[in-house]
Amino acid sequence: MSWWRGAVIYQVYPRSFQDSDGNGIGDLPGLLRRLPYIAELGVDAVWISPFVKSPMEDFGYDVEDYRKVDPLFGSDADFDRLLAEAHRLGLKVVVDMVLSHTSHRHPWFQESRRSHDNPRSDWYVWADAKPDGTPPNNWLSMFGGPAWSWEPRRRQYYLHHFLAAQPDLDVANPAVQDALLEECRFWLERGVDGFRLDACNCFTHDRLLRDNPPRPADMAPTEGVPPGSPYNRQIHRFDKSQPETLTFLRRLRDLVDLYGDAMLVAEIADDDGLRVAEEYAGPQAPLHTAYSFALLGPRLDLDFLRQTLETFHNGQRHGWPAWAFSNHDVERVASRWGGRDAPPELAKALIALLSALRGTIFLYQGEELGLPDADVPFAQIRDPFGLAFFPDFPGRDGCRTPMPWDDSDRHGGFSERDAWLPTPNVHLRRSAGAQQVDPGSVLNYTRALLRWRRDQVALCKGDIRFLDAPDGTAAILRTLGDERVLVAVELAGRPARLPVPGPTAAVLAEPDGRRHPVADGWVDLPPYGRFVARLE
């Protein structure tokens, strides 16, 4: 069965993982140095956020050259060494592919913007102004303001879902598709094991450029967008999630299938991301899996979680989902769902809950340490999202601060100098080194759980059923054939008692030796307690 089904994929944000050359920015040699740490977690793969050449106006999600490692992160040879060592350690490597847009410095855009009749004149989304000179429609950028910028040389507007420095490619254009497929082929030939497709449902747009309708006041914000953004005042019916995207994705899948068991996972952000994820990664759909922002929201809602997972399981939705509680775009889950002073035991409970979900699991760097979101002072904010929406939304820097490897100095073992973002003291106290020697740490619990999970086929690939449990507690039964695994997690911070549906064959002990014994068919959980067992 395909390696990615039930896999745990560890996301690395390379700017903030490990600096090897003392410039305060993480790089590929630094990541290479820390690969044994990742392998020891018990994960199956590593997803590396963008590291190719970029002016870094959106920190790598504005690509200037798809094939060249940015010198900030090292060399092409550094990537080859990293890939080889990851494979030696048994880790698959998934890389980000940003195909919906490029940097404005990309040679394709530099040519396209020059005139109406050059060979790449129609590679980006160009449109004439309205008679009064205003943009062609009401579409908005996720970063605030119109999604259109004026190009005086062409005397036209170009589309950008994000920054003006990130012009949108016209991915419906067959010539653009051919070019993008060649960029993907380059990395497949290098030996990567899959692609995470950034902003996947932004690849194509309504060809008539119709206005988006206004959003009802009682409608929830668009997934992944700050509540105060004007982007939330529209229903995004015409600017993304168009059927032409699937045409290109089928071509991409045909290419990827030539390279064995390589994986395609989509990032989906939409008004109904789960519905779009099904279109992209359901039965007969082109992608292997997709994740949305459904579980990246501001609060933990166990009823919503149960409804969402059971909907996928009972046939109302289809396909193999992917789930994440944290990534580089949202507040860290420990703070988002537990507050700034969330205890380490909650972080363990969330790791247990995530590991029990049916699908492919994404774990963001530092999640295994239970890191809270960092408070980054305004003067040190680097994220263009945060600069645009401060103080209502401080941006994404709080989840992107450097990994704390030890507490020996204020740099946390990340670099020899001040890093591109500050390292808060609370992170130093929860460093990997400090947790390594603490049997009861979040890190050691994560290692024990993920290694145990790897050997439980039902937990990785089986069906899922939510059992009745006290409020604030999730009880999840995973089954495959005769194998059954129960994961029960208390998330409200109060003791809970719940029934165990059968005798236990093996119970996962806490790394510090603690157990939650079963008595007369019941188990008692302390606040944020976990019970993980294989049943007879």
Q: Which is catalytic among the residues 19, 96, 193, 267?
A: 267
Query: Per-residue pLDDT for 227 more than 80?
Result: no
Please say whether the dihedral angle defined by the alpha carbons of residues 56, 62, 65 and 69, taken in this order, is positive or negative: positive
In angstroms, how far is CA 469 from the centroid of its own chain?
29
> What's the whole-number mean pLDDT along residues 154-175?
98
Residue 42 token pair: 């018990």
> What's the whole-number mean pLDDT along residues 436-444?
97
Report how far residue 440's alpha carbon sits from residue 442's, in angstroms, rounded to the nearest whole number. Answer: 7
pLDDT, position 225: 83
Annotated catalytic residue 310: no
How high is the mean pLDDT of the chain? 95
Tally: H helices and E strands in the chain: 14, 21
pLDDT tens digits for range 264-288: 999 999 988 888 998 999 888 999 9
Report how far residue 86's alpha carbon sits from residue 95's, in angstroms, rounded to the nearest whole number. Answer: 13
Report how far residue 419's alpha carbon sits from residue 151's, in angstroms, rounded to the nearest whole number. Answer: 36
pLDDT, position 303: 93
Query: Per-residue pLDDT for 315 more than 60?
Result: no
pLDDT tens digits for range 461-470: 999 999 999 9
Compute how many other C-beta atoms are within 10 angstroms of the C-beta atom of residue 483. Answer: 15
pLDDT, position 479: 95
pLDDT, position 261: 94
Strand positions, DSSP E, 285-346: 289-291, 322-324
Report how far residue 103's alpha carbon sits from residue 525's, in angstroms, rounded to the nearest whole number. Answer: 51
Residue 75 or 390, more confident: 75
pLDDT, position 422: 97
Annotated catalytic residue 189: no
Report how far residue 360's alpha carbon sits from residue 5's, in angstroms, rounded to the nearest whole number. Answer: 6
pLDDT tens digits for range 361-418: 999 999 999 999 999 999 999 999 899 888 888 999 999 999 999 998 899 999 999 9
Contact 487, 356 (CB under 8 A): yes
- Structure-token match 């996962």, residue found: 508
Residue 187 or 229, more confident: 187
Question: pLDDT-derived band of residue 224, with 50, 70 and 90 as boundaries?
Answer: confident
Task: Identify which of 440, 335, 439 has the alpha carbon closest to the alpha carbon of residue 396.
Answer: 335
Burial 445-460 (b: 16+ CB within 10 A, else e): bbbbbbebbbebebbb
- Structure-token match 């002990």, residue found: 509
Contact 376, 397 (CB under 8 A): yes
Query: Per-residue pLDDT for 316 more than 80?
Result: no
> What's the whole-number mean pLDDT along residues 6-30?
98
450 contact partners, CB below 8 Å, separation of at least 6 = 8, 41, 42, 43, 355
> What's the whole-number mean pLDDT along residues 496-501?
95
Q: Which is catalytic among the residues 62, 198, 223, 271?
A: 198
Report how far residue 94's alpha carbon sits from residue 200's, in angstroms, rounded to the nearest whole number. Answer: 16
Is the peptide bond preceding residue 321 cis, with omega within 30 degrees of 0? no
Query: Per-residue pLDDT for 1 more than 80?
Result: no
Quickly name the fold that domain 462-535 has.
Immunoglobulin-like (2.60.40)
Report how far residue 36's alpha carbon sits from residue 121's, in angstroms, rounded to the nearest whole number. Answer: 47
H/E element, 483? strand 483-490
Question: pLDDT-derived band of residue 430, with 50, 70 and 90 as boundaries?
Answer: very high
User: What 3-state DSSP class applies to 158?
Assistant: strand
> What's the whole-number mean pLDDT along residues 287-304?
91
Sheet holding 518-519, edge to edge: 496-499, 522-525, 518-519
Return the domain boundaries, the chain.
Answer: 8-101+172-446, 462-535
Question: pLDDT-derived band of residue 154, with 50, 70 and 90 as boundaries?
Answer: very high
H helix runs in 89-147, sequence order: 107-112
Specify the CATH superfamily of domain 8-101+172-446: Glycosidases (3.20.20.80)
Contact 350, 337 (CB under 8 A): yes
pLDDT, position 229: 86
Report how far residue 265's alpha carbon sits from residue 459's, in angstroms, rounded to the nearest whole number. Answer: 21
Report how far residue 511's alpha carbon sits from residue 198's, in angstroms, rounded to the nearest whole number. Answer: 37
Query: Per-residue pLDDT for 156 more than 80?
Result: yes
